[in-house]
Chains A and B, each alone.
Chain A
């Protein structure tokens, strides 16, 4: 298989899955078997592609010009490859989980659900492999549109309101800021093609844009990428929690939000360039916005009793870690941020799976009602504990490594205040995550938990797998480090 074919397959397979879902809509078993088969093949293809990319290749695929002068093209580089691996790998697990969840709930419109899911994955792949800013933007917007029917799946008044906030914020920011930022970049650099060391650091962009304008442009980019959920444009994420839990798990812990922070990293590395940001200090203000988001979102998370809402705010906070990694403008920061994409994805998807499993088994959504549930659902709550450790950044969770590199990044940049913010945030993470499993394993105060048992196997197995995955990531972290190092080294 040539790398070109692999790229084409990576983008085409999710579409094939969508077609199969549509075709077999009347036969649920066949429909889900199709999705499972395709997602497995996709992961396998991505693994093959990854071996090429991590050994230094940069395969490309150009689809030709979309408009005179503007091309749609794909270039696979390590950061995008890592993101594609994570998203496609977790798609398999989530599909299994979704089958268990959706069927035990007798959800309606499951065909539409699985079809939109597949399109979202296609958009995630396209974003991961995007070779220029226009392609990235197209994939980014496709994802917004494709996930809207998932967010509003229940078609209730509440779903409508949630969908309104979701679409409103994501669309407004991307159209008003991101699109403008891309057009501006184009007018300065005459190209949108991602370049090692940054488009704006290319010799012919020099002198065309002043320093304060660069800072403004960076602002347009990071706030324009609303999916990165940087405060004050984070409200869409809690609003999206009206969606069925598999959506929250894969899309609002992995695919959608990670497209956001991935784009931020990509912009930092390939549009501005770490050196340019470091030399001019244009991203200093962003460090503080990100740190503020980390702390504030953690504080808000502590006040939430609804489990999914708490996890949503936790996600806002953890995403800001990655934005911080980009803003630090240092090699360690970028690598830490890139790693955190994988680590947080594995941890947070587990937490959402657990939340969904608890809901399926007990119909409970509030944390205060969960006392004693761990005793009847040991696997679920055990997995929750492991994943929490990873999110907090404690061994043996994978998150320990990414947070270590981020802390290293703050030291490299000499920002002690930020280092303190990271430490405080870790304490806050403990405070809002650990009480949940502890409460679960305490003896129940009443008899309400009698007669309850673990969620269906299709729900429990995936969450155990991803919990184990969080631990595995702790041991493969050095590998990931090796994969990501090339993106911070500029060879011109």
Chain B
């Protein structure tokens, strides 16, 4: 009985818990509730994945209204996979949050953070699960608005400014998406994605469809921070509180990538996007330029959060490369990289949070010699960094290898070459930090620092450990991604 209602519970539980946190108004009580809810949503995601594996995709009709009149929730391989890591990272970051928050926020305000965080989680999960295009927009706004609020909590006075910058860009993106949805609705008279896919006339149809597609694509480009529409991302990641950066960096852009995959592979067809329209060439071009320029920029950053932010822009490029290949191998690589990068980048930002907590700074210069006083945190950086570079036995290698073989199979030698070059650029910016941590004489802050508190170190190590585990055991990463890609392309694996 409950098993049948899991899809809606996944959304409703955090949605109701958010105002409850505010009503409770007590720091500990609100935290306990938020933590429990986060882990429950993770449990539900796992259960949904198991259901999909056992009995195939689930279609859930909200309020019993028949599709396409009512809203449909769709749980298939792709959405359950994305929800799994979004809720997983949400839960682990929540576990990590309270200690880290002490440095960022007045204790009396913590409950507001918990409420907003839950709202954000609801929005992200909703975007994944819904099969209704307008619903995607609604959940996108829920997650975006709560993200703006979370970002503005940052300690420095630049945080509200960064949040505002994000708000402006994000709203433009959301508006584009809304216009696109509106035009599609006008052309097809339906909002259900599968139904649109049936009705929309892509070949020789009215120009309105093309315009709708263009609006949706550009809107999602902004939300994904695709080069050159990435300008909101570095400031947002840099000035948001560490906890928020961990969560947003691990999940938000990935969910937009997910929505983009849905747009191309479910609502429209890869034939339309890549054959009728030359989107694959554009995507490949933008992705490659983005990968190289963002990696180069990352090398010259003195602020570690900003360094990782630029690296994120580059990593989005990897996902786009995979998506633009439109075959099972490429799409598998793109999807699995969403997961692997969520782990790696989430883990690295958690490490940054540990350093920031003890040294009160995210300037690389202040971290000099911290390897001696904070050995465990520093080692976590090394492992996460190796994952980012894509060294074998880390999750990063799995995505890199799959993408490389897919590119070579397609005879895209330029893509293969530039991708490898960019992982060498990653080596440079990761190792700059490693050398600063281990080979420099301690700075004042580093000399006075102690190992990060356990409440932060343990969750960090869980994520960093997962980076290694999913580098050797890919049953629940690459294999799932492979199945999701096969499903999308309707190939039997």
User: Which residue of chain A is the closest to B474 with respect to CB atoms?
Assistant: A67
Question: Are A183 and B408 in contact, with the CB atoms below 8 A?
Answer: yes
Scoring A residues 139 to 161 as 1 if CB is less than 8 Å from chain B, else 0, what string do you get? Answer: 00110010000001001110110
* With A137-B392, A180-B420: A68-B478 Cβ-Cβ less than 8 Å: yes
- Tell whether A417 is near chain B: CB-to-CB under 8 Å: no
Scoring A residues 49 to 93 as 1 if CB is less than 8 Å from chain B, else 0, what string do you get? Answer: 000000000000000011110101000000000000000000000
* With A155-B439, A167-B431, A187-B405: A68-B424 Cβ-Cβ less than 8 Å: no
* With A138-B393, A176-B424, A179-B420: A67-B439 Cβ-Cβ less than 8 Å: no
- Tell whether A415 is near chain B: CB-to-CB under 8 Å: no
Question: Are B332 and A68 in contact, with the CB atoms below 8 A?
Answer: yes
Question: Are B421 and A176 in contact, with the CB atoms below 8 A?
Answer: yes
- Tell whether B105 is near chain A: CB-to-CB under 8 Å: no
CA distance in complex: A180, B412 (Å)? 12
Question: Are B404 and A179 in contact, with the CB atoms below 8 A?
Answer: yes
Question: Are A145 and B386 in contact, with the CB atoms below 8 A?
Answer: yes
Measured CB to CB, the closest approach of chain A to B391, in angstroms, equals 6
Tell me which residues from 408 to 459 in chain B have a Cβ below 8 Å from any Cβ of chain A: 408-409, 416-417, 420-421, 423-424, 427, 431, 435, 438-439
> In the complex, which residues of chain A have a beta carbon less than 8 angstroms from the beta carbon of B423?
175
Question: Are A187 and B439 in contact, with the CB atoms below 8 A?
Answer: no
Question: Are B398 and A68 in contact, with the CB atoms below 8 A?
Answer: no
- Tell whether B402 is near chain A: CB-to-CB under 8 Å: yes
CA distance in complex: A96, B423 (Å)? 39
CA distance in complex: A172, B407 (Å)? 19
> In the complex, which residues of chain B have a beta carbon less than 8 angstroms from the beta carbon of A155?
438-439
Question: Are A186 and B472 in contact, with the CB atoms below 8 A?
Answer: no
User: Which residue of chain A is the closest to B428 with respect to CB atoms?
Assistant: A168
CA distance in complex: A152, B435 (Å)? 10
- Tell whether B479 is near chain A: CB-to-CB under 8 Å: yes
Question: Are A176 and B402 in contact, with the CB atoms below 8 A?
Answer: no
* With A160-B439, A176-B424, A187-B408: A67-B401 Cβ-Cβ less than 8 Å: yes
Question: Are B408 and A186 in contact, with the CB atoms below 8 A?
Answer: yes
> In the complex, which residues of chain A have a beta carbon less than 8 angstroms from the beta carbon of B439?
152, 155-157, 159-160
- Tell whether B482 is near chain A: CB-to-CB under 8 Å: yes
User: Which residue of chain B is the closest to A137 with respect to CB atoms?
Assistant: B392
* A67 in complex: contacting residue of B391, B416, B417, B478, CB < 8 Å: B478
> In the complex, which residues of chain A have a beta carbon less than 8 angstroms from the beta carbon of B393?
138, 141-142
Measured CB to CB, the closest approach of chain B to A78, in angstroms, equals 26
CA distance in complex: A157, B386 (Å)? 22
- Tell whether A404 is near chain B: CB-to-CB under 8 Å: no
CA distance in complex: A458, B210 (Å)? 78
> In the complex, which residues of chain B have a beta carbon less than 8 angstroms from the beta carbon of A141?
391-393
CA distance in complex: A387, B439 (Å)? 36
Tell me which residues from 164 to 198 in chain A have a Cβ below 8 Å from any Cβ of chain B: 164, 167-168, 171-172, 175-176, 179-180, 183-184, 186-187
* With A66-B398, A157-B439: A171-B427 Cβ-Cβ less than 8 Å: yes
> In the complex, which residues of chain A have a beta carbon less than 8 angstroms from the beta carbon of B474?
65-68
> In the complex, which residues of chain A have a beta carbon less than 8 angstroms from the beta carbon of B417?
176, 180
Question: Are A187 and B424 in contact, with the CB atoms below 8 A?
Answer: no
Measured CB to CB, the closest approach of chain B to A400, in angstroms, equals 39
> In the complex, which residues of chain A have a beta carbon less than 8 angstroms from the beta carbon of B421?
176
CA distance in complex: A72, B393 (Å)? 11
Scoring B residues 203 to 227 as 1 if CB is less than 8 Å from chain A, else 0, what string do you get? Answer: 0000000000000000000000000
User: Which residue of chain B is the closest to A67 with respect to CB atoms?
Assistant: B478
Measured CB to CB, the closest approach of chain A to B484, in angstroms, equals 12
> In the complex, which residues of chain B have a beta carbon less than 8 angstroms from the beta carbon of A142?
392-393
* B401 in complex: contacting residue of A65, A70, A171, A184, CB < 8 Å: A70
User: Which residue of chain B is the closest to A149 with respect to CB atoms?
Assistant: B438
Measured CB to CB, the closest approach of chain B to A485, in angstroms, equals 33
Interface size on A, residues (CB 8 A): 31
CA distance in complex: A336, B393 (Å)? 34
User: Which residue of chain A is the closest to B399 with respect to CB atoms?
Assistant: A67
> In the complex, which residues of chain A have a beta carbon less than 8 angstroms from the beta carbon of B431?
164, 167
CA distance in complex: A156, B427 (Å)? 21
> In the complex, which residues of chain A have a beta carbon less than 8 angstroms from the beta carbon of B472?
66, 72
* With A66-B472, A138-B392, A187-B408: A175-B401 Cβ-Cβ less than 8 Å: no
Scoring B residues 460 to 481 as 1 if CB is less than 8 Å from chain A, else 0, what string do you get? Answer: 0000000000001010001100
CA distance in complex: A171, B416 (Å)? 16
Scoring B residues 381 to 394 as 1 if CB is less than 8 Å from chain A, else 0, what string do you get? Answer: 00000100111110
CA distance in complex: A157, B392 (Å)? 28
> In the complex, which residues of chain A have a beta carbon less than 8 angstroms from the beta carbon of B391?
141, 145
> In the complex, which residues of chain B have a beta carbon less than 8 angstroms from the beta carbon of A167?
427, 431
* With A67-B478, A183-B405, A187-B409: A176-B438 Cβ-Cβ less than 8 Å: no
* With A67-B398, A183-B405, A184-B408: A175-B424 Cβ-Cβ less than 8 Å: yes
User: Which residue of chain B is the closest to A160 with respect to CB atoms?
Assistant: B439
> In the complex, which residues of chain B have a beta carbon less than 8 angstroms from the beta carbon of A65?
474
User: Which residue of chain A is the closest to B485 with respect to CB atoms?
Assistant: A68
CA distance in complex: A142, B401 (Å)? 16
> In the complex, which residues of chain A have a beta carbon less than 8 angstroms from the beta carbon of B402?
67
> In the complex, which residues of chain B have a beta carbon less than 8 angstroms from the beta carbon of A156?
439
Measured CB to CB, the closest approach of chain A to B51, in angstroms, equals 22
Question: Are A171 and B404 in contact, with the CB atoms below 8 A?
Answer: no
User: Which residue of chain B is the closest to A68 with respect to CB atoms?
Assistant: B482
Measured CB to CB, the closest approach of chain B to A153, in angstroms, equals 11
Measured CB to CB, the closest approach of chain A to B164, in angstroms, equals 40
> In the complex, which residues of chain B have a beta carbon less than 8 angstroms from the beta carbon of A168?
427
> In the complex, which residues of chain A have a beta carbon less than 8 angstroms from the beta carbon of B435?
160, 164
* With A141-B392, A142-B393: A176-B427 Cβ-Cβ less than 8 Å: no
* With A66-B398, A145-B386, A160-B439: A180-B392 Cβ-Cβ less than 8 Å: no
Measured CB to CB, the closest approach of chain B to A224, in angstroms, equals 11
Measured CB to CB, the closest approach of chain A to B410, in angstroms, equals 9
* Residue of A66, A160, A171 most packed against chain B (CB within 10 A): A66
* Residue of B391, B479, B482 most packed against chain A (CB within 10 A): B391
* Residue of B392, B427, B438, B482 most packed against chain A (CB within 10 A): B392
Measured CB to CB, the closest approach of chain A to B321, in angstroms, equals 14
* A175 in complex: contacting residue of B332, B398, B420, CB < 8 Å: B420
> In the complex, which residues of chain B have a beta carbon less than 8 angstroms from the beta carbon of A186?
405, 408
CA distance in complex: A177, B398 (Å)? 18
Measured CB to CB, the closest approach of chain B to A462, in angstroms, equals 30
Tell me which residues from 103 to 144 in chain A have a Cβ below 8 Å from any Cβ of chain B: 134, 137-138, 141-142
User: Which residue of chain B is the closest to A72 with respect to CB atoms?
Assistant: B472
* With A67-B401, A138-B392: A171-B424 Cβ-Cβ less than 8 Å: yes
Measured CB to CB, the closest approach of chain B to A274, in angstroms, equals 26
> In the complex, which residues of chain B have a beta carbon less than 8 angstroms from the beta carbon of A152?
438-439
CA distance in complex: A179, B400 (Å)? 10
* Residue of B389, B401, B407, B479 most packed against chain A (CB within 10 A): B401
> In the complex, which residues of chain A have a beta carbon less than 8 angstroms from the beta carbon of B416?
180, 183
Measured CB to CB, the closest approach of chain B to A93, in angstroms, equals 29
Tell me which residues from 39 to 66 in chain B have a Cβ below 8 Å from any Cβ of chain A: none
* Residue of B423, B431, B438, B439 most packed against chain A (CB within 10 A): B439
> In the complex, which residues of chain B have a beta carbon less than 8 angstroms from the beta carbon of A67?
398, 401-402, 474, 478
User: Which residue of chain A is the closest to B482 with respect to CB atoms?
Assistant: A68
18 A-B interface contacts by CB (under 8 A): A66-B398, A66-B472, A67-B398, A68-B478, A134-B401, A138-B393, A141-B391, A145-B386, A152-B438, A155-B439, A167-B431, A171-B427, A172-B427, A175-B424, A180-B420, A183-B405, A187-B405, A187-B409
B residues apposed to A, CB below 8 Å: 332, 386, 389-393, 398, 401-402, 404-405, 407-409, 416-417, 420-421, 423-424, 427, 431, 435, 438-439, 472, 474, 478-479, 482
Known: A68-B332, A145-B391. 8 other contacts (CB 8 A): A66-B474, A68-B474, A141-B393, A155-B438, A160-B435, A160-B439, A171-B389, A180-B404
The 10 residue pairs across chains A and B that have the minimum distance between CB atoms:
A138-B392, A160-B439, A183-B408, A141-B392, A67-B478, A68-B482, A187-B408, A183-B404, A183-B405, A176-B420
